[in-house]
Amino acid sequence: MNEQSNPSAAERVEKLQGMGSCRKRVEDARFTQGKGNYVDDIKLPGMLFGDFVRSSYGHARIKSINKEAALAVPGVVAILTADDLKPFDLHYMPTLAGDVQAVLADEKVLFQGQEIAFVVAEDRYAAADAVELVEVEYEELPVLVDAFKAMDEDAPLLREDIKDKMDGAHGPRKHHNHIFFWEEGDKEGTNKALENSDVVVEELIYYPRVHPNPLETCGCVASMDKINGKLTIWGTFQAPHAVRTVVALITPLEEHNIRIISPDIGGGFGNKVGVYPGYICAAAASIVIGVPIKWVEDKIENLTSTAFARDYHMTGKIGATKDGIITALDCHVLADHGAFDACADPTKFPAGFFSICTGSYDIPIAHCGVDGVYTNKAPGGVAYRCSFRVTEAAYMIERMIDVLARKLEMDPAELRMKNFIKKEQFPYTSALGWEYDSGDYHTAMNKALDAVDYKALRTEQLENRAAFERGNSRSLMGVGVAFFTEIVGAGPVKNCDILGLGMFDSCEIRIHPTGSATARLGTISQGQGHATTFAQILATEIGLPAENITVEEGDTDTAPYGLGTYGSRSTPVAGAAAAMAGRKIRAKAQMIAAYLLEVHDDDVEWDIDRFQVKGNPEKFKTMQELCFAAYNQAIPGLEPGLEAVSYYDPPNMTYPFGAYICVVDIDVDTGVVDVRRFYALDDCGTRINPMVIEGQIHGGLTEALAIAMGQEIAYDDLGNVKGGSLMDFFLPTAVETPEWETDHTTTPSPHHPIGAKGVGESPNVGGVPAFSNAVNDAFAHLGLTHTQMPHDHWRVWKTAQRLGITG
């Protein structure tokens, strides 16, 4: 009989704060008290500062660079140009997409803001002063900013460095500005099915170039310890281990002598996946000079040079019977990748997971093709709160479904319901080859429609239109319905790698004798609350309170190898690794418990936080007792200690989904769109922390609002960036942000150890089409089929003007 008092099962569950509990975020204690430790907080003795001279032109030849005046600025130590990097073969770097990118412009510049020279100085002010004094003489070249003109016969040659290399990383190139053509599905069959369809609609849908724009910009501190031969880089890295391997591959340093540390990160959203010239220049300068070098970009540099997202011109074609059964989908994308192909996608997927574009619908046959082209714009193509182009795919199909509904004069929600993949069809293989793990779309959609009283909304809309017609109202009501299926959790390794690095993830748990634990993972939180939620998974799996489990990420010297955090992969992959490592701990604890309870291993069973003798729950050993025994009691046949590591290669991705409904009122005389209501139902399988999920949804919806309603990194014909500062790039504040109503259903993933799917990106994926559908819906009765994003006041007003309804 155990001497300890025995709290009730409910009390024990409560104490663990495991999965399903709304545990408060542990990280917030330091973030809200100014105790976060970000890259720019790193200050090392003797540290120097780097800053870039950047191109003023979109396309120009560099005739000369004069550093003389800049070098005379007190405190300036060195100014690097491409010529200085050439001896080390560092003037070009590999991109994540199999291309190369100039670290410092070599003889010509290809986009405004491109890095030309790296000034190193004793403080950042001297560096900034010197940047101003570096004289670059340019010879302007014809600029290409229109992706549709990239493959014209007379289009200017952008990439002289690869002009004769017609075999690209993803197959043959058709033109000097062509990067790749990638396709999936049955083109011929799809064409036939479209020809035989009662109804076919076609639309060019543009997803504008936007930017993740995290609060903290990109930066690093590189510190070469020449005596010990060790290079340490603190950086804003979403994948620190991958960075370590890449550094080992492009420098003479051995991987064990490279330490990459991602400290606290102030938002990533895909912006911090890529490799940027600042990292290479800081590391190169530190290796040469032998002192730590810090480089931190400012907001304008962030917006104009490190990463962009989307920029997809998508022509969708969808066929259906006259009753609204979809027969086929075809889509062609013209993808504007900017001056270098630096897209962050798994190697085999140059257009990411765009082929998820059949969405949530049981479409019998489909085809999609993507042409990537170079233009005089910044490189990037990152997955901005997105799993490798799923956001573009979801936007295309959700707009197309609305366009089709209009053509069929059918309610858009009804058309969706008619074509949804049915619950009993899961696991479902889509026409483009993805195996959706689980889903119950009809239940989710019905719940959403009921929650907002959809029928009443449509009745109100009819009344509103009648009142508008009569001249009794100057605003139009729009109801946007969107239903999305996400694809998150890359790997599996057999399909997904980045630069040859397999996309598994990992968790290592070290249990301490007194019943606490340290868990380390290959991922890295950028605000998602991993320290809170991964401890919850472990609390449930190993029966120790979450508050006794410290989660560490982001230091390659201590964390097990993993591929990092982006594409909502942390929960599907590292979360699974955590559960599996926890189960290894529990398996050993079971043997210890059986020995201590003097029964066979099979005669003990797990109960919340303990092993008890089967049929005799009074006889038990708590996990805390077992932790102590693991270290301090000689157990025949067992090594002392209690540790485990799991490297998890997921068998499939997970497919979260959701039903979003947005109601807007548009003032046709000003173009102001008032979001009256936004309802978001998400299904991310097993929910680890409902409160954290809600926070993720709120943040993602706010980003979706920003994208749909105002964000765009546009270029003028000369290649000048028009949306390059926060004066021009829409960043919603509390004033513009509506109330979010959140809801959920729970359809666990059958292959994930705890049934969880990712969630962080869902609101961005589903939110953008919901907003856009709402704006388009407001004008639908006037014959409008599709109007492009962003739906800012000016463009919405222009739409109203085109329709002849402005005052």
Q: Which residues are catalytic?
A: 238, 385-386, 761
Per DSSP, helices labelled H in 471-566 are 530-542
- CB-based contact 382:274 (threshold 8 Å): yes
SS3 for 290?
Answer: coil
- CB-based contact 236:219 (threshold 8 Å): yes
Shortest distance (Å) from residue 685 CB to ligand CDP:
5
Q: Which is nearer to ligand CDP, 588 or 687 (CB)?
A: 687
Query: Pick from 687, 744, 786, 791: which binds ligand CDP (CB under 6 A)?
Result: 687
Q: Which residues contact 337 (CB under 8 A, 6 or more apart)?
A: 97, 179, 311, 343, 372, 373, 374, 375, 379, 381
- CB-based contact 199:408 (threshold 8 Å): yes
Instruction: State yes or no: residue 528 binds ligand CDP (CB under 6 A).
Output: yes
Q: Which is nearer to ligand CDP, 184 or 440 (CB)?
A: 440
Q: Which is nearer to ligand CDP, 376 or 532 (CB)?
A: 532
- CB-based contact 686:746 (threshold 8 Å): yes
Instruction: State yes or no: residue 751 binds ligand CDP (CB under 6 A).
Output: no
Shortest distance (Å) from residue 572 CB to ligand CDP:
6
Q: What does the alpha-carbon distance between residue 600 and residue 591 come to, in Å, rounded to a whole number?
A: 8
Q: What does the alpha-carbon distance between residue 443 and residue 743 come to, in Å, rounded to a whole number?
A: 13
Instruction: State yes or no: residue 759 binds ligand CDP (CB under 6 A).
Output: yes
Instruction: State yes or no: residue 530 binds ligand CDP (CB under 6 A).
Output: yes
Shortest distance (Å) from residue 757 CB to ligand CDP:
6
Shortest distance (Å) from residue 387 CB to ligand CDP:
9
How many CB atoms neighbour CB 152 within 10 A?
12
Task: Specify the residue for token string 């200085």.
Answer: 84
Task: Specify the residue for token string 């340093």.
Answer: 253
Secondary structure, 3-state, 677-741: EEEEEEECECCCCHHHHHHHHHHHHHHHHHHHHCCCCCECCCCCECCCCCCCCCCCCCCCCCCCE
Shortest distance (Å) from residue 531 CB to ligand CDP:
9
Instruction: State yes or no: residue 259 binds ligand CDP (CB under 6 A).
Output: no
Instruction: State yes or no: residue 554 binds ligand CDP (CB under 6 A).
Output: no
Shortest distance (Å) from residue 424 CB to ligand CDP:
23
Q: What does the alpha-carbon distance between residue 387 and residue 764 come to, in Å, rounded to a whole number?
A: 10
Q: What does the alpha-carbon distance between residue 436 and residue 426 come to, in Å, rounded to a whole number?
A: 7
Instruction: State yes or no: residue 745 binds ligand CDP (CB under 6 A).
Output: no
Shortest distance (Å) from residue 392 CB to ligand CDP:
19
Instruction: State yes or no: residue 506 binds ligand CDP (CB under 6 A).
Output: no
Instruction: State yes or no: residue 391 binds ligand CDP (CB under 6 A).
Output: no
CA angle 342, 331, 181 (to 5 degrees): 40
Q: What does the alpha-carbon distance between residue 225 and residue 245 come to, in Å, rounded to a whole number?
A: 19
Instruction: State yes or no: residue 684 binds ligand CDP (CB under 6 A).
Output: yes
- CB-based contact 131:116 (threshold 8 Å): no
Q: What does the alpha-carbon distance between residue 541 and residue 115 come to, in Å, rounded to a whole number?
A: 49
SS3 for 476?
Answer: strand
Query: Pick from 217, 271, 355, 571: which binds ligand CDP (CB under 6 A)?
Result: 571
The one segment of 279-287, 328-336, 524-532, 627-635 that binds ligand CDP by CB under 6 A? 524-532
Per DSSP, helices labelled H in 742-792 are 762-779
The one segment of 45-53, 286-294, 458-466, 688-696 that binds ligand CDP by CB under 6 A? 688-696
Instruction: State yes or no: residue 756 binds ligand CDP (CB under 6 A).
Output: yes
The one segment of 45-53, 453-461, 565-573, 671-679 that binds ligand CDP by CB under 6 A? 565-573
Q: According to CB under 6 A, which residues from 692 to 721 bind ligand CDP?
A: 692-693, 696
The one segment of 200-208, 274-282, 316-324, 751-759 that binds ligand CDP by CB under 6 A? 751-759
Q: What does the alpha-carbon distance between residue 88 and residue 83 come to, in Å, rounded to a whole number?
A: 10
Distance of CA 57 to the CA centre of its chain: 30
Binding residues for ligand CDP, how many (CB under 6 A)? 23
Query: Pick from 208, 369, 372, 685: which binds ligand CDP (CB under 6 A)?
Result: 685
Instruction: State yes or no: residue 273 binds ligand CDP (CB under 6 A).
Output: no
Report the C-alpha dihedral over residues 399, 779, 311, 194, rounded to 10 degrees.
Answer: 40
Q: Which is nearer to ligand CDP, 656 or 723 (CB)?
A: 656
Shortest distance (Å) from residue 656 CB to ligand CDP:
8
Query: Pick from 529, 699, 723, 763: which binds ligand CDP (CB under 6 A)?
Result: 529
Query: DSSP character for 424?
Result: G
Instruction: State yes or no: residue 272 binds ligand CDP (CB under 6 A).
Output: no
Q: Which residues bind ligand CDP (CB under 6 A)?
A: 528-530, 533, 565, 568-571, 684-689, 692-693, 696, 756-760
